[in-house]
Amino acid sequence: MTANDVSTSTDHGTVLTGTEAHIEATEKYAAHNYHPLPVVLSEGDGAWVVDVDGKRYLDCLAGYSALNFGHSNQRLVAVAREQLGHLTLTSRAFFNDKLSGFAVALARLTGKDMILPMNSGAEAVETAIKVSRKWGYEVKGVPAGQATIITMEGNFHGRTTTIVSFSDDEVATSGYAPFTTGFRRVKYGDIASVAAAIDDTTVAVLFEPIQGEGGVVMPPEGFLTELRALCTERNVLMVADEIQSGLARSGRTFACDHEDVVPDIYVMGKALGGGIYPVSAIAANHDVMDVITPGSHGSTFGGNPLAAAIGTEVVAMLEEGTFQARSTEIGALLEAGFRPLVGRGLSDVRVRGAWAGIDIDPTLMSGRQMSEALMARGILAKDTHGSTVRFAPPLVASDEDIAGLVAAVAEILAG
CA dihedral of 244, 249, 253, 255, whole degrees rounded to 10: -60
Specify the pLDDT at position 159. 97
The amino acid occupying position 123 is E
Taking residues 223-229, report their average pLDDT.
98
The DSSP annotation for 297-327 comes to S--SSTT-HHHHHHHHHHHHHHHT-HHHHHH
Largest CA distance in the chain: 68
Higher pLDDT among residues 5 and 321, named by residue: 321
Specify the pLDDT at position 8. 35
Specify the pLDDT at position 14. 65
Taking residues 213-234, report their average pLDDT.
98
Is pLDDT above 50 for 253? Answer: yes
Buried b / exposed e along 11-42 (16+ C-beta atoms within 10 A)? eeeeebbbbbbbbeeeeeeeeeeeeebebbbe
- Tell me how long the chain is: 415
pLDDT above 70 covers a percentage of the chain that reads 97
Specify the pLDDT at position 15. 73
pTM over 0.85: yes
Specify the pLDDT at position 2. 41
Nearest alpha carbon to residue 395 among 304, 329, 344: 329
Residues catalogued as catalytic: 156, 241, 270
pLDDT tier for residue 1 given thresholds of 50, 70 and 90: very low
- Report helix, strand or coil for 182: coil
Is pLDDT above 70 for 12? Answer: no
Specify the pLDDT at position 11. 52
Strand partners, 360: 346
Radius of gyration over every alpha carbon of the chain, rounded to an integer in angstroms: 22
Q: State whether the Cα torsion 216-217-221-223 is positive or negative.
A: negative
Contact criterion met (CB below 8 Å) for 287 and 235: no
Is pLDDT above 50 for 243? Answer: yes
CATH H-level, domain 35-65+322-414: superfamily: Aspartate Aminotransferase, domain 1 (3.90.1150.10)
Is pLDDT above 50 for 52? Answer: yes
Q: Where in the chain is the domain with CATH 3.90.1150.10?
A: 35-65+322-414
Question: Rounded mean pLDDT of the chain?
Answer: 96
Is pLDDT above 60 for 368? Answer: yes
Specify the pLDDT at position 72. 98
Taking residues 106-131, report their average pLDDT.
98
Is pLDDT above 50 for 236? Answer: yes
Nearest alpha carbon to residue 208 among 139, 272, 280, 121: 121
Taking residues 67-76, report their average pLDDT.
98
Is pLDDT above 60 for 343? Answer: yes
List, for residues 119-175, the tens digit of each pLDDT value. 999 999 999 999 999 999 999 999 999 999 999 999 999 999 999 999 999 999 999
Specify the pLDDT at position 7. 41
Segment (H or E) for 58:
strand 56-59
**Helix locations, 111-158, DSSP H:** 121-135
Specify the pLDDT at position 97. 98
List, for residues 370-415, the tens digit of each pLDDT value. 999 999 999 999 999 899 999 999 999 999 999 999 999 999 999 9
> Which fold is adopted by the domain 74-319?
Aspartate Aminotransferase; domain 2 (3.40.640)
E runs forming strands in 190-252? 202-207, 237-241
Q: Where in the chain is the domain with CATH 3.40.640.10?
A: 74-319
Buried b / exposed e along 66-103 (16+ C-beta atoms within 10 A)? bbbbbbebeebeebbeebeeeebebebeeebebbebbb
